[in-house]
Amino acid sequence: MVAVKRRVRRGVASKVVHKKPAGVTIGVDFGGTKIAAGVVARGKVHDRVEVPTGAALGREHVIGQLRSAISLAARGRVISYVGIGVPGLFSGTKVTLIANIRAMDGVDLRKALSPVIGKATLFLENDARSFALAEARMGAGRGSRHAVGITLGTGVGAGIIIDGRVYRGSTGSAGEIGHVIIDCGVQSFRIGDGGDWESVISGRAMQRYYQESCRTSRQRSSHQGLSGAAIDVPRVSEFWNERSAPALATRDFISRKVAIFIANIITTIDPDVVIIGGGAASEDLVRRVNALLPRYGSRPIIRLARLGRDAGIIGAALAIDED
C-alpha cells in the first residue's frame, strides 16, 4: 500500500514515501443475519455499527443495508479503503455465490456500493479467512507464523495462515476444510448434501445429535438454542454448560469428532496454533478437544478466539494489505 521512489536533490538520493490517503479504512463483516462495520485503525475497531442483513427482503434491501453500515461507521469522513468479509464465493469485487444470501449472487459490490464509497479501494475476502487473519495477527494466535482459524456456527468455516499471510490457493478457494468429504460412500457431492465435516461438527449437527439423544433417553429437549426446528446459533455456546444426560452425551460425541477433525488439520498443515471461534465454540469445547488430541497423535495446540465480534471487521480490513 506504500509506494517508495527516490528523488535526487543536490546530488543526494533521498526517499520520498507516499503514504495512504488521509481517509479512514472500513472493515465490514457481511453475514447472513447481520452486517457489522467499523473504522479499523492500528488493529482496533472504532465507531462500530451493526444492522440486520434482511436477506429475505431481496437484493436491493441488502445492498441498502451494506451502504448504511458503511456510511454510519464512516460518520461523514472520507473513506480510502473498504474491506468486506464475504460468507461465500467471489471473483474480484463480484459476488458469485453466497449460500444463505442468494439474492446477492452476481452483484458487483464495487458498482453497488459506489454511491457510498466513491473511489475508495474495495477488497473482498472470505469471512472465515478474515477471522483467521485477525486472530493470527491480533488475537489468540498472535506471534505465530502458521495458524488455522476455524469458525463453528451454523456451518463450519476455516482460514489458513502460512508464514503470517493468508493462503488462498490457485483458485482462491483454499481453506474450505469444512467441506472435505469424509463419507466414502457418496457417489457425488454438493455443498449442503451432507457427507462432509460440516454435516458432522457444525451447530446444525449439534442440534441434530442433541434432539436425537433427547428422543433416545426420553427426556424433554430443554435447551432453547437447540430445541426448535431452527438453530439459535448465538445460544449454542450455552449448551456446553447444561448438565442433562442428552447434553452430556452430545458434548462427548461432538468433542471426539472435532478432535479428529483438528487432528487431521494438524497432520496436514502442521500449524503453530489452531484457533476456534463462532457461536458454537466455547472454553469447554477447547479444553475437551485439547485433552483428546494426544489420542490421535496430535499436539494440544487449540486456543479459543479472543477478538470476539470484532474479528471479522478487523480481518476484513487487514486483508486489504494482503492484496
Same domain for 55 and 204? no
Do residue 87 and residue 148 come from a single domain?
no
Residue 68 corresponds to which cell in the numbers above?
448504511
Domain assignment present for 81: yes
Hunting for cell 472454553 — which residue is that? 283
Residues 83 and 102 in one domain: yes
Residues 161 and 119 in one domain: no
Domain identity same for 148 and 81: no
Burial 191-205, CB ≥16 within 10 A → b, else e: eeeebbbbbbbbbbb
Q: What CATH number does residue 207 fall under?
A: 3.30.420.40
221 located within any domain = yes
- Please check whether residue 16 lies inside any domain of the structure: no
In a domain, 33, yes or no: yes
pLDDT score for 76 = 93
pLDDT of 221: 52
Tell me which residue of 48, 116, 8 sits closest to 316, measured CA to CA.
Answer: 48
* Tens-level pLDDT at each residue, the chain (323 residues): 444 444 444 444 444 444 555 789 999 999 888 899 999 998 899 999 999 999 999 999 999 999 999 999 999 999 999 999 998 889 999 999 887 788 999 999 999 999 999 999 999 999 999 999 999 999 999 999 999 999 988 789 999 999 999 999 988 888 989 889 998 888 888 777 788 999 999 888 888 888 888 887 766 555 554 555 555 655 666 666 777 888 888 889 999 999 999 999 999 999 999 999 988 888 999 999 999 999 999 999 999 999 998 999 999 999 998 76
Q: How many domains does the chain have?
A: 2
Helices 245-269 and 203-217, packing angle to 10 deg: 150
What is the phi/psi pair of residue 90, to 5°?
A: -155, 165
Whether residue 136 lies inside any domain: the answer is no
For residue 261, tell me if it sits in a domain: yes
Residue-level pLDDT at 116: 96
Answer yes or no: do 100 and 192 share one domain. no
Cross-strand bridge partners of residue 275: 149, 303
Asked whether residue 162 is assigned to any structural domain, the reply reads yes
The predicted structure's pLDDT at residue 323: 65
The answer on 162 and 88 residing in a single domain is no
- pTM for the model: 0.83
3-state secondary structure of 272: coil
Residues 214 and 234 in one domain: yes
In a domain? residue 168: yes
Same domain, 84 and 225: no
Domain residues for the domain of 200 are 143-305
Residues 38 and 154 in one domain: no
pLDDT recorded at residue 316 = 96
Q: What amino acid is encoded at 273 in this protein?
A: V
Do residues 106 and 215 share a domain? no
| Pairing assessment for the beta strands 24-30 and 12-18 based on DSSP bridges | unpaired
Residues 293 and 176 in one domain: yes
